[in-house]
Amino acid sequence: MKLNIQLLFIGYLVLNLTASAYAQGMSKSKFTSEIESGAPFSKSKISEKEQDRSKGTIDKDSWSNYYADSCEVNYNHIQNEQELRNLNMRRCDDGTVSFLQPDSEGWFGNEGKCGQTAASNVLFMYCGLVGHPQWYSNRFLNDLTPGVRPGTLESGLNTIFDEESACPGGTWNIRIGSSYNDFLYEIENGLTPKFNHKGLITRTRSSGEKVKRSPVIALLRSPGSRTLHWVTITDILNRKNNNCQLVINHWDDQYAVPCHKFGAWSWGAYDSYAILFDPYTILTFE
């Protein structure tokens, strides 16, 4: 692992998106659970904002090339569906969720919210609880760096899961792939449930197959920029052939990214910030 050097200016972990203010009406546990019934909604198109820095080689690719789902599903049978949307939760066609990322804060927008948004994603997909990403900023995922360091995300998630009785017992751990192939192994192993829990998400693949998944969080350098970014991996497909893909939830959308491309983006975090971050960094729940 790299030295935990905390600098006030490094590549920050977000792209700038539109989001609503923190919604009121949290439950006693500070999170909201689903209940029966629902209401329709509308969704604005989210645009990407490219950033540039001075280190490493920029991948000129774009997330838009791998766009898979706008995550506009509305559950009419959920009574408080609009409340859940006010907390930035968005549902994808496959049964997973992809939270809307709040605006960046701080000097020049250097305090991103992608780590907090990933935390919201996994809280729902493991525990069935909904919390606005902004809520985590000063409570569990606050450190001296812009964005969220891997160690801060690891410890913050463990505190949240320990405090919430709706969450399964277990531990979030940082995993570093020793190579590209080991990286894919760690992702696949992390996505495979090690336990049975009622809150664990079931994903419906395009073939109609339903699979239980344990979502994984990954750090990468976003394509077209030197910006570091946390995303949520919800599935891996065709790992043993040339059509290997990772299903990625972030920015309230879903993307299907070739495994080799995602591996290059993960390596990019090290390419640009070698003294601070390892390549092939993920967080898994065990």
Q: How far apart are the first and last CA of the chain?
A: 20
pLDDT band at 36 (very low <50, low <70, confident <90, very high): very low
Return left, alpha or beta for 252; rule: phi > 0 is left, psi -120 to 50 is alpha, else beta: left
88-138 pLDDT, tens digit per residue, is 999 999 999 999 999 867 554 556 789 999 999 999 999 999 999 998 766
**pLDDT range class, residue 56, cuts 50, 70, 90:** low
Confidence of residue 38 (pLDDT cuts 50, 70, 90): very low
- Is residue 238 within 8 A of residue 245, CB to CB? The reply is yes
Taking CA atoms, 101 is separated from 11, 16, 38, 197, 263, in Å, by 18, 8, 23, 27, 23
Name the residue with higher pLDDT: 51 or 103. Answer: 103
- In this prediction, residue 60 has a pLDDT band, given cuts at 50, 70 and 90, of confident
- pLDDT at 14 exceeding the cut of 50: no
Judge whether residue 29 has pLDDT over 80: no
Q: Of 74, 77, 65, 87, nearest to 224 (Cα)? A: 65
| Percent of the chain at pLDDT exceeding 70 | 77
Is 54 a residue whose pLDDT tops 50? no
Q: Are 227 and 273 in contact (CB under 8 A)?
A: no
Instruction: For residues 161-174, give the mean pLDDT.
Output: 95
Task: Give which of 172, 75, 157, 77 is closest to 123, Cα–Cα.
Answer: 157
Q: Give the per-residue pLDDT at 135.
A: 86
- Average pLDDT of the chain is 81
Q: Is the pLDDT of residue 70 over 90?
A: yes
Would you say residue 18 has pLDDT above 80?
no
